[in-house]
Structure 1
Amino acid sequence: MLKLQSLIGLPMIDQASGRRAGTIQDIWFDEHWQLAGMITRASRWGRRGMTVLRWRHVAACGEDAVLLHEQALEERLPEGEIVRCFHTGLVRLRNLPVMTLGGLQLGRVSDVYFHQDEGTPIVGYELTDGFISDLREGRRWLRIAAYPDQVTLGEDAILVPARAEQDLEQATSNR
């Protein structure tokens, strides 16, 4: 399982030539919140859009670099097409509140866990309650794969079943 934030800032290396293809600036998600690609360059003065590499071009994700298949091609997409991202975009996953259907806020998204080789769905969130709480109690982990059709990823909040509160507490106490 990989943490999404560990990819941001990593160099992308062409597997065939060993040439650096760029640096990951952000991660972009499709409308189903699956990893769609990596943003390599954002808008610059007067130039609209973002330069991206689609996730299908990733051969491997390591601690120090992301390796790309031989035919990896960057694309320039209009900003309006890149809606859901981790740091940027119209809908930002980072810092979204995670709420139960009972109205209880479990925390805010600090990081995202996913499996590189399984269609890149999000499998869990690392949650924060703020700096002081993180220092005292640590961050908590919520495995959303346990609720396949019961998670709503909205523009302003992520909604999970009420039982997620108990699952979150168990995950915290079993660390």
Structure 2
Amino acid sequence: MRTFSILKNLPVYTEQGEKLGEVCDLMISQSGKVHKVVLSKKHFFKKAITISLDQIFTYGPNGILVKNADEQTGHEKMPFSYHENINGKRLITHQGEDLGIVKDVYFQEDLGTIVGYEFSDGFFSDITEGKHIARTILPAAIGKDAIIINVN
């Protein structure tokens, strides 16, 4: 299981040793699964490309290796501002309980299935109680202002 915060800013390399960029975000499908990793490339103008999870060969502590580097079809170029970030959105249960603000996402790297959301209930609560994690089984509804989840 991985979290986005562990992957953020990690360099991504091809098997041939070419640096493609650094992880800057995750793309989440309508079905609530992580299906691509977004990389930023530092050029004169910021550019972003996406890598699908099935192209990732290995996750390391200091970088990520991508297979099939010869086939550029999997490296999709895209405008840098492509969607809204899920960090900072309200996390609300199907029962209407407001859990707090999303801080991180836990997902299975092989399938892209999101298994939980780390959230904050406020600064003092974080200090006194520590991390809060809401585990989910079913895909979340990710809206403009909030993420609606079924908690178990």
* TM-score range relative to shorter protein: 0.7 to 0.9
**Amino acid in structure 2 at the alignment position of 1:60:** T
TM-score of the aligned structures, taking structure 2 as reference length: 0.81
TM-score of the aligned structures, taking structure 1 as reference length: 0.71
SS in 2 for 1:133: helix
CA distance in 2, matches of 1:40, 1:152: 24
Equivalent position to 1:129, from 115, 118, 121: 121
Contact 2:101/2:119 (<8 A) preserved: yes
- Look up the match of 2:35: 36
**Amino acid in structure 1 at the alignment position of 2:101:** R
- Look up the match of 2:51: 53
Instruction: Report matched runs for 1:68-107 at 5 Å.
Output: 68-71=66-69, 73=72, 74-78=75-79, 82=82, 89=83, 91-107=84-100
The structure that is strand-richer by fraction is 2
- Look up the match of 1:64: 62
Residue segments in structure 2 that go unaligned for 5+ positions in a row: none
The verdict on how the C-alpha distance between 1:67 and 1:48 changes in structure 2, with shifts beyond 3 A counting, is closer
Residue segments in structure 1 that go unaligned for 5+ positions in a row: 83-88, 168-175
Structure with greater contact order relative to length (CA < 8 Å, sep ≥ 6): 2
Contact 1:8/1:27 (<8 A) preserved: no
The structure that is helix-richer by fraction is 1
Contact 2:120/2:126 (<8 A) preserved: yes
Please give the root-mean-square deviation of Cα atoms over the aligned residues, in Å. 2.6
Equivalent position to 2:106, from 113, 123, 131: 113
CA distance in 1, matches of 2:57, 2:37: 13
Deviation (angstroms), 1:111 = 0.5
SS in 1 for 2:125: helix
**Structure with the greater alpha carbon radius of gyration:** 1
Identity of aligned residues (%): 26
- Look up the match of 1:157: 146
* C-alpha distance after superposition, 1:40-76 (max 9, x if no partner): 237988x797322232221111222111103263321
Deviation (angstroms), 1:133 = 1.6
The verdict on how the C-alpha distance between 1:11 and 1:50 changes in structure 2, with shifts beyond 3 A counting, is closer
